Chain A
Amino acid sequence: MNLRILSPPSWSISINLAKWASKLGIPLASTQPIKGIIIVGNGIPDDIICLILAHKFNGKHIMGITKPQKLGIDSIHPALELIKDEKIKNLMLIIDQEENKLSELWEKIEERFKEKGMKCKIIKKEERLHIYECFYNDYKFNALIILNGLDKPYLKHTIEDHLLEFSKELNKEIILDKNINPKEIWRKLKDKHQDIYSNLLKHGKEKIELFFPQHVKAFNFLKQIFENSRSLKIN
């Protein structure tokens, strides 16, 4: 699975994806048909993780990727409008948990779907991954919602939870001060980003799943949908 950038070229998500795709040697799709759309509610570096994971699930299918102008949970409405207007069959939405309690955040997310007149049936429920089968009038689509964060004592739960844990695994000398915003720590590791992403690309799926469990499961589910598997089991 490869990604096709749908946002304007001048936006930071487009620039960032193009830059890292080139650095990591991952091809980006250009005019091929799109099977679904990934919305990264918090932008960067979630987009790079999607780039790498989509590539790991290397198949011929293409997912579009973009980030609406609104951030985090507020990106749900524009994402749903897009699904509704353009009849997109598969939505993967990635947002940060931040300081929110998981149960409260899931409630808020489901409320956003209701506000847009969508009826959703949950078909897979994990702590930070919900997979819904949704209906809008007669239109049916799959919504895979991923909340970034791990059960680790970070100040805020974001994609950096995952990246920092993976970085620590690669280099035991990295010391993480859990009282500092993980985004700040990740920024300080700027010189190591290429090495970390390259390692992520090199490792097997099982290893990556230890650090990005909800993301890997969601991509696995998408792969099954695209390959028309009858039983949509999540390993």
Chain B
Amino acid sequence: MRILELSLNNFRGIKEGSINFKNLNILIGSNNSGKTTILEGLFLTPNPFRRVPYGETAISVLSSLHSTLYSEAYAFLFHNYKDDLASITYSNNSKVKIIFQKEGSLIGVYMEENDKTYFLGRLSRDSKREEYDNLRECERENGKLRAKLSLLNIPTTDFISKTIGETIYFHPLLMKHIWNYFSYNWVEFRNAGLTSKIAKKISEAVAGEYDDLLLEPFIGNQQAIYVRTKDSRGIRLGDLGSGVQVLVTLMLLYEFIKPEILLIDDIESHMNPTLLIHSTSWFENVLRNGTKLIISTHSLEATKFITGSLEEYKPQITLLALNNGILKSRNFSLEEIENLEKKGIDARVSEGILI
């Protein structure tokens, strides 16, 4: 089996560290232990400037997610906001490395893959400005990467690393971005048969029989997403509860993009155990399609349920801890987590003795 590994250097809260993956991975650990940073690293690796189904580039989505008040600046990519060089390296049989290099008030973004280094674009350290056009080849000058002037015939936003393939990052806070994207591309979802397929799947998870998803005006001219009941009534998706919205959004996103890796942050948030059961049954389809699934959670119940139900996919539970920016991790099987519990140890809160 291929060993999939992600290494991060000076990237966000992680000064240094690496983690390996299998086909199904559950990341656990205290708050600020690096779970989200790992997911975000994987989300950026195929190319931070590619267009993702949130109506923006991948890097721009993360910037919005991290902004507090009006602080959308790309300095957040560097550890402690002040380092000069950060990198994300993903390896399986081959390797891809994304490099963020401080260049005055800008950040140059480069990708190393298969002995080639490309210049992808630039970001502003102190604002949300992005600069990109087509890929460029690079050279090293005094140890620093420098873009050549000539452009390659590949638009940066269309380029994806072959080593990792497309990755999709789902966080409940991104739902509005995703629904904007859906509304722009609604006819494609509809004509691909995805809306009816997902409406039926949702009927199994909640009390109600639905046969389609609709994008129609609500009051006045405001657009809303509805589930259509068997008797042709429309119920706004938002009125079915946050958990259902999460699952519908995730399903549509996945079915439309079919990424190589699906990254889900805080799976348990908004989800009643019943919905978690249905989500897990859908995860099996995802895994059967060959997609790798990496999920972060604070819930031991969710961890045990997902890994127990999807045992045949040899799930790996990874406990993470950050100590002065150094990422530490330890992999567990479900059995090991349960054995610890018999001894009175909850792995999520016990990295102090487990790592």
Q: Which residues of A are interface residues toward B (Cβ below 8 A)?
A: 4-9, 11, 13, 30-34, 37, 39, 62, 64, 66-70, 78-79, 81-82, 86, 88
Q: Which residues of B are interface residues toward A (Cβ below 8 A)?
A: 30, 300, 321, 340-346, 349-354
Q: Which residues of A contact B352 (CB under 8 A)?
A: 4, 6, 31-34, 62, 64
Q: Which residues of A contact B344 (CB under 8 A)?
A: 6-7, 11, 13, 39, 66-69, 78
B308 to chain A, nearest CB (A): 16
Cα distance, A34 to B346, chains bound together (Å): 14
Chain A residue with Cβ nearest B345: A6
Q: Which residues of B contact A34 (CB under 8 A)?
A: 352-353
Cα distance, A62 to B353, chains bound together (Å): 11
In the bound complex, do residue B342 and residue A7 qualify as a contact, i.e. CB atoms below 8 Å apart? no
In the bound complex, do residue A7 and residue B346 qualify as a contact, i.e. CB atoms below 8 Å apart? yes
Q: Which residues of B contact A4 (CB under 8 A)?
A: 349, 352
Chain A residue with Cβ nearest B339: A81
Q: A31-B30, A68-B343, A78-B342 are in contact. Are A86 and B349 (CB under 8 A)?
A: no
B6 to chain A, nearest CB (A): 23
Chain B residue with Cβ nearest A68: B344
In the bound complex, do residue A64 and residue B346 qualify as a contact, i.e. CB atoms below 8 Å apart? no
In the bound complex, do residue A79 and residue B346 qualify as a contact, i.e. CB atoms below 8 Å apart? no
Cα distance, A69 to B346, chains bound together (Å): 12
Q: Could you say which of B321, B341, B344, B349 has the most chain A C-beta atoms within 10 Å of its C-beta?
A: B344
Chain B residue with Cβ nearest A37: B353
Cα distance, A13 to B352, chains bound together (Å): 19
Q: Which residues of B contact A86 (CB under 8 A)?
A: 353-354
Cα distance, A41 to B342, chains bound together (Å): 13
A119 to chain B, nearest CB (A): 22
Identify the 5 closest CB pairs spanning chains A and B, nearest first: A66-B344, A34-B352, A78-B343, A8-B346, A68-B344
Q: Which residues of A contact B340 (CB under 8 A)?
A: 82
Q: A30-B30, A32-B352, A86-B354 are in contact. Are A6 and B346 (CB under 8 A)?
A: yes
Main secondary structure of the interface of B (DSSP, over half): helix
Q: Which residue of A5, A8, A37, A66 is within 8 Å of B300 (Cβ)? A: A8
In the bound complex, do residue A6 and residue B350 qualify as a contact, i.e. CB atoms below 8 Å apart? yes
Q: Which residue of B300, B342, B354 is within 8 Å of A68 (Cβ)? A: B342
Cα distance, A64 to B345, chains bound together (Å): 10
In the bound complex, do residue A64 and residue B350 qualify as a contact, i.e. CB atoms below 8 Å apart? yes
A182 to chain B, nearest CB (A): 24
In the bound complex, do residue A88 and residue B353 qualify as a contact, i.e. CB atoms below 8 Å apart? yes
Q: A6-B346, A9-B349, A37-B353 are in contact. List 20 more A-B contacts (CB 8 A).
A: A4-B352, A6-B353, A7-B345, A7-B346, A9-B346, A31-B30, A31-B352, A32-B352, A33-B352, A34-B353, A64-B352, A66-B344, A68-B342, A69-B341, A78-B342, A78-B344, A79-B343, A81-B343, A86-B353, A86-B354
Q: Which residues of A contact B343 (CB under 8 A)?
A: 66, 68-69, 78-79, 81-82
In the bound complex, do residue A82 and residue B349 qualify as a contact, i.e. CB atoms below 8 Å apart? no
Cα distance, A81 to B339, chains bound together (Å): 10
B51 to chain A, nearest CB (A): 38
In the bound complex, do residue A64 and residue B342 qualify as a contact, i.e. CB atoms below 8 Å apart? no
Q: Which residues of B contact A82 (CB under 8 A)?
A: 340, 343, 345, 353
Q: Which residues of A contact B300 (CB under 8 A)?
A: 8
Cα distance, A112 to B345, chains bound together (Å): 20
Cα distance, A35 to B349, chains bound together (Å): 15
Q: A30-B30, A31-B30 are in contact. Are A8 and B341 (CB under 8 A)?
A: yes
Chain B residue with Cβ nearest A40: B344
A223 to chain B, nearest CB (A): 19
Q: Which residues of B contact A13 (CB under 8 A)?
A: 344
Q: Which residues of A contact B354 (CB under 8 A)?
A: 86
Cα distance, A11 to B349, chains bound together (Å): 13
Chain A residue with Cβ nearest B352: A34
A146 to chain B, nearest CB (A): 17
Q: Which residues of B contact A39 (CB under 8 A)?
A: 344
Cα distance, A13 to B30, chains bound together (Å): 20
Cα distance, A33 to B340, chains bound together (Å): 18
**Would you give 21 A-B contacts (Cβ < 8 Å), ordered by A?**
A5-B349, A6-B346, A8-B300, A9-B346, A30-B30, A32-B352, A37-B353, A39-B344, A64-B353, A66-B343, A66-B344, A66-B345, A67-B344, A68-B343, A69-B342, A78-B343, A78-B344, A82-B343, A86-B353, A86-B354, A88-B353
B30 to chain A, nearest CB (A): 5
Cα distance, A7 to B35, chains bound together (Å): 21
Q: Which residues of A contact B349 (CB under 8 A)?
A: 4-6, 9
Cα distance, A64 to B354, chains bound together (Å): 11
Cα distance, A78 to B345, chains bound together (Å): 10
Chain B residue with Cβ nearest A67: B344
Cα distance, A13 to B344, chains bound together (Å): 10
B1 to chain A, nearest CB (A): 26
Q: Which residues of A contact B351 (CB under 8 A)?
A: 31
Chain B residue with Cβ nearest A35: B352
Q: Which residues of B contact A78 (CB under 8 A)?
A: 342-344
B331 to chain A, nearest CB (A): 14
Cα distance, A122 to B246, chains bound together (Å): 58
